[in-house]
């Protein structure tokens, strides 16, 4: 029988429910349990696909083409197992399902209400992964903070679920804050007490409290929290700020969070967790032998979460190369032909990031021109790859006014054009080319050498593509289409001959990089940047 763990948050948002959930899952997985994590988000959008990255960070895409919360990226990076659309549910999706069924007459004329109809639909979604038989433990992270109006139906569903599952089959971990008041010189437990009281008002007694803190909490504070919040003293878990999120599983191991969870779920904890590979990764991450500076050129650089998966991919690839990757954020809209040299000087590599819309488009093209002409390693992802095609068309092939029809619908040379099957799409949400597609790589190409094979699958999120009418011209001039989709001839990878590393990918390789399997293109890009740094 599958066991269920619910993770709620109190006091304030951004305490790190996703990292705690992923860390606990990692420890349980390292003990031999089959674990998955799902995220329930209280906002009314059906998915984050139409949200501005400034609102909600990056949109993470799963193998099956779901646009999801960026926490799913953490789940995959920690567990090295793919997630799916069943791993991320929003209020919008819940209500849409219930309203669709009401229109079909499924409720036999009953008045449709939050309880039981909405809460039943939430519980049904909570069980979906557990009922596949693929998992021993399902961890469900409830987004937002307890007390938010939006999260009330989810909290009520957790209360019902826990009651129905019975003792030992479901537990609640409440993540809370123990602030340090500098003026008083002490940690304060009152916000945590209030947060737990609010949960109790909703009928939920948390089983474990994970306390986020900047200072160690001593035994007296633990006893006080345990007494006022009705939990065992060993269920008060300290979660200190860490230098890297990848430290958190080891910090939770030290606090015996996994043991406490297994005891409460009546599961064996005879097997000690096998974390040798994890510790090896951390050792290389914390003891680099060299350093590279890589520029990330994008339009959302003020919010690092907008490029979360790319930053984490650099961490994985850096550890693999035993070097520290220092990412320098460069706003693409500030790049001009006049200042590109000055803004990009001193970098050992440049990654041009994905994005949508015209803002910053010309700046990305200037960055690519500079790195192409100066033999600096370049990696373009999605729009970054498309910009490299536009730049090459304008400055090498002499196609005056070459552009993408996304930015300039009337361009005389639409070297990037909308995909045929996208031209009649009206709705914006969930309608792009999404999820995993195959790609055949040319033998001997940089991409094929990086992957060590010629047939790969990668995840997509785009509407526009390389215009194959220009394929022969590009190939003749030296920009090689080295990756092609075998089903429709879509150009997936372009690379430049006679350049240390110049690769553009239409897909999103950052979505498949994990601690256990750093992405080969990132590994090779960092290695090329390192080689450039040593030469210069």
Backbone CA torsion sign across 271, 277, 281, 284: positive
Backbone CA torsion sign across 422, 423, 424, 428: positive
CA–CA separation, 383 and 362 (whole Å): 12
Catalytic-labelled residue, pool 316, 348, 508, 519: 508
Say if residue 423 carries a ligand binding annotation: no
Any catalytic annotation for residue 413?
no
Say if residue 250 carries a ligand binding annotation: no
Say if residue 71 carries a ligand binding annotation: yes
Say if residue 150 carries a ligand binding annotation: yes
Say if residue 224 carries a ligand binding annotation: yes
Are 72 and 307 in contact by the 8 Å Cβ rule? The answer is no
Residue with tokens 């696909």: 49
CA–CA separation, 473 and 95 (whole Å): 51
3-state helix, strand, coil in the chain (%, to 5): 40, 20, 35
Say if residue 386 carries a ligand binding annotation: yes
Say if residue 16 carries a ligand binding annotation: yes
Are 161 and 154 in contact by the 8 Å Cβ rule? The answer is no
Say if residue 54 carries a ligand binding annotation: yes
Say if residue 420 carries a ligand binding annotation: no
Enter the DSSP assignment of 115.
Answer: I
- Cis before 116? omega within 30: yes
Are 231 and 259 in contact by the 8 Å Cβ rule? The answer is no
Say if residue 308 carries a ligand binding annotation: no
Tokens of 114: 């939050």
CA–CA separation, 80 and 83 (whole Å): 10
Tokens of 264: 């409460």
Say if residue 486 carries a ligand binding annotation: no
Say if residue 355 carries a ligand binding annotation: yes
CA–CA separation, 159 and 454 (whole Å): 50
Say if residue 18 carries a ligand binding annotation: yes
Residues 6+ apart with CB under 8 A from 33: 136, 137, 267
Catalytic-labelled residue, pool 58, 391, 458, 510: 510
Say if residue 419 carries a ligand binding annotation: no
Say if residue 192 carries a ligand binding annotation: yes
Say if residue 19 carries a ligand binding annotation: yes
Say if residue 190 carries a ligand binding annotation: yes
Residue with tokens 């939990």: 231
Q: How far apart are the first and last CA of the chain?
A: 59
Q: Of 58, 16, 10, 62, give the one whose Cα is nearest residue 36.
A: 62
CA–CA separation, 335 and 296 (whole Å): 12
Say if residue 13 carries a ligand binding annotation: yes
Catalytic-labelled residue, pool 229, 382, 387, 439: 382
Say if residue 17 carries a ligand binding annotation: yes
Any catalytic annotation for residue 211?
no
Say if residue 497 carries a ligand binding annotation: no
Say if residue 188 carries a ligand binding annotation: yes
Residue with tokens 């420890």: 27
Any catalytic annotation for residue 387?
no
CA–CA separation, 124 and 72 (whole Å): 20
CA–CA separation, 14 and 175 (whole Å): 10
Residue ranges of the annotated binding site are: 13-19, 54, 71, 141, 148-150, 188-193, 224, 242, 355, 383-386, 406, 463
Known binding-site residues for ATP equal 14-19, 71, 242
Question: Which residues are part of a known binding site for UTP?
Answer: 13, 188-193, 224
Binding residues for CTP: 13, 148-150, 188-193, 224
Hey, which residues are catalytic here?
382, 508, 510
Binding-site entries for L-glutamine: 54, 355, 383-386, 406, 463
């Amino acid at each position: 029988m599958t066991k269920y763990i619910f993770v709620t948050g109190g006091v304030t948002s951004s305490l790190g429910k996703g990292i705690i959930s992923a860390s606990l899952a990692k420890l349980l997985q390292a003990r031999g349990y089959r674990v998955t994590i799902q995220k329930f988000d209280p906002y009314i959008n059906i998915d984050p696909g139409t949200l501005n990255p400034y609102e909600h960070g990056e949109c993470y895409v799963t193998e099956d083409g779901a646009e999801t919360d960026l926490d799913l990226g953490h789940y995959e990076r920690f567990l090295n197992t793919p997630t799916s659309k069943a791993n991320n549910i929003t209020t919008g999706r819940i209500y849409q399902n219930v309203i669709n069924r009401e229109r079909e007459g499924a409720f036999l004329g009953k008045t449709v209400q939050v309880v039981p109809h909405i809460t039943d639909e939430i519980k049904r979604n909570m069980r979906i992964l557990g009922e596949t038989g693929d998992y021993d433990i399902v961890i469900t992270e409830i987004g937002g903070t307890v007390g938010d109006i939006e999260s009330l139906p989810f909290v009520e569903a957790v209360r019902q679920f826990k009651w129905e599952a019975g003792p030992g089959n479901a537990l609640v971990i409440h993540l809370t804050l123990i602030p340090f008041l500098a003026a008083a010189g002490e940690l304060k437990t009152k916000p945590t007490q209030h947060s737990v009281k609010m949960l109790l008002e909703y009928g939920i007694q948390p089983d474990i409290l994970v306390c986020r803190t900047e200072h160690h909490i001593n035994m007296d504070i633990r006893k006080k929290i345990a007494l006022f919040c009705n939990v065992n003293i060993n269920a008060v878990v300290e979660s200190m700020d860490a230098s890297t999120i990848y430290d958190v599983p080891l910090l939770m191991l030290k606090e015996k969070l996994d043991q406490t969870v297994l005891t409460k779920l009546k599961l064996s904890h005879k097997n000690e967790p096998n974390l040798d590979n994890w510790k090896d990764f951390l050792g290389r991450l914390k003891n680099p032998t060299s350093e590279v500076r890589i520029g990330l050129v994008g339009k959302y650089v003020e919010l690092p979460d907008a490029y979360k998966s790319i930053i984490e991919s650099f961490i994985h690839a850096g550890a693999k190369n035993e070097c520290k990757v220092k990412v320098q954020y460069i706003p693409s809209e500030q790049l001009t032909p006049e200042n590109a040299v000055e803004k990009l000087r001193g970098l050992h590599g440049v990654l041009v990031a994905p994005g949508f819309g015209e803002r910053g488009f010309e700046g990305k093209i200037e960055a690519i021109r500079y790195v192409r002409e100066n033999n600096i390693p370049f990696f373009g992802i999605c729009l970054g790859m498309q910009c490299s095609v536009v730049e090459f068309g304008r400055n090498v092939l002499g196609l005056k006014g070459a552009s993408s029809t996304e930015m300039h619908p009337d361009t005389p040379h639409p070297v990037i054009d909308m995909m045929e099957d996208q031209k009649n799409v009206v709705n914006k949400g969930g309608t792009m080319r999404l999820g995993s597609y195959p790609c055949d790589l040319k033998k001997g190409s940089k991409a094929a050498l990086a992957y060590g094979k010629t047939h790969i699958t990668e995840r997509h999120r785009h509407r526009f593509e390389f215009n194959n009418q220009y394929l022969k011209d590009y190939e003749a001039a030296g920009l090689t289409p080295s990756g092609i989709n075998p089903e429709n001839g879509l150009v997936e990878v372009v690379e430049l001959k006679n350049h240390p590393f110049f690769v553009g990918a239409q897909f999103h390789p950052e979505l498949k990089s994990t601690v256990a399997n750093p992405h080969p293109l990132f590994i090779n890009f960092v290695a090329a940047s390192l080689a450039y740094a040593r030469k210069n």
